[in-house]
Structure 1
Amino acid sequence: MSRFASLAIASTVFTVCTAGMAATPASADTASLDTLHCPTGTSKTTYDPPISRTEVDTTRTIDQKYTGCVGTGAAAGVTSGTHKDSNVTRRSCLQLGSEGDVSWEIKWNNGKTSKVSAHRVSNLVGAVFTNTFTGKITDGLLAGHGFVETMTALSPEITECTLNGGTVSELNADHTLNVI
């Protein structure tokens, strides 16, 4: 093989290798631009029949709104979203301060959806009930991204239920969602 042919092959291999290397950081930079922050969400959860200290089968209905959203990259133009669900569950107010794995789907204002899976940790301190969801978007808009969602509710009804045997029929909360 001639010296010229060897140099041409080496040059081609170098060009192909460096072109592939240059493309990787550009892709990573693009993915890092996909963010979403929804600071002013709210939710209303109802229990029918109301829950008490004794476990009952109850229909739990969740109506959640993600608002004030600001997105970048693939989430540009997302300003709001919703999550609605209804199921029959066996609950008591004593179980509200617990943890577990959950999943749900969010419908965004741009017509796209995100399926999420998270670990939930709930706490009740005084009359303040909190949930922290830490997880990943498993499908749809921003799939593969992690997220943290916090829910905070002032709920003297939960405190009354856990301490004195009252009931909880409704829970209203504020939410913040950060997709990273």
Structure 2
Amino acid sequence: MRLPRGTAMLRTACPLAAAALLTVVTAGATPAGAAPQPLDLTCTAPSSNVVSYSPALTNTPSPHVLQTNTQYGPCVSPGHPGVTSGSTSGTVPPGGDISCLTLLVPTSVTFPITWNTGQTSTVSANIQSSIEGVTFVVVLSGTVTSGLFAGDTYLQTNVGAASDILLCNAGLGSVQGVYSTVTLEITAA
């Protein structure tokens, strides 16, 4: 989920789509011989992300309004058993020209997550996107900078269909939005 700079919710160098979002990145890899760090939180399907564009993206850059909504859950947190779901959402007015071609450009983002307990986490992450066959993969890897899980490593992987993006990149269609399933892991530092 890439959003233009200067927004209250997210900050990025170049808007991305899909909740996008990396060539599966292995963030926080454990050095040889070191014990793996415990997971503070995991969220799996039906966790999801929806990013929509108005107007629909084409392969010609132009200003767009971007709306994003991510729902996390079911989630399991051994240290915080009351945390079972969360969400983040926002609308970003036009802030720069984007196209379906920019969906694969790496960027960074900062955004809040509100958990079902009312607690919040602020995440700062790098975003990498790729098309693998007919699948659009977006990976957000970074750190929880404040709030619940502060200091922990953040790894979110969004997986969605790439067919509209492939057609758009070829000049044969447009992208109104991207729906992705989401897997989230927050690991103790």
**TM score, norm. by length of structure 2:** 0.75
Contact 2:39 2:185 in 1 (8 A): no
Structure 1 unmatched ranges of 5 or more: 1-31
Matched, 1:67 2:67: no
Indicate the residue corresponding to 1:23 in structure 2. none
Q: Is the 8 A contact 1:34 1:142 kept in 2?
A: no
**What is the deviation of 1:33?**
6.3
User: Considering only aligned residues, what root-mean-square deviation do their CA atoms show, in Å?
Assistant: 1.4
How many residues align structurally? Answer: 148
Q: In structure 2, what is the equivalent of residue 57 of structure 1? A: 63
Q: Which residue of 1 aligns with 2:14?
A: none
Shift of 1:125: 2.7
Q: Name the one with the larger strand percent.
A: 1
TM-score, length of structure 1 as denominator length: 0.78
Q: Does 1:132 align with 2:170?
A: no
Counterpart AA for 1:103: T
| Greater C-alpha Rg | 1
Question: Structure 1 residue runs of 4+, over 3 Å off?
Answer: none
For the Cα contact (< 8 Å) 2:131–2:162, is it kept in 1?
no
Question: Which residue in 1 is equivalent to 2:86?
Answer: 81
Higher helix share: 1
Percent sequence identity over aligned pairs: 30
Partner of 2:30: none
Q: Distance in 2 between matches of 1:163 and 1:54?
A: 11
Q: Which one of 152, 160, 172 corresponds to residue 167 of structure 2? A: 160
Report the counterpart of residue 95 of structure 1 in structure 2: 102
Unpaired stretches in structure 2, ≥5 consecutive residues = 1-36
Greater mean alpha carbon deviation, residues 164-173 or residues 101-110:
164-173
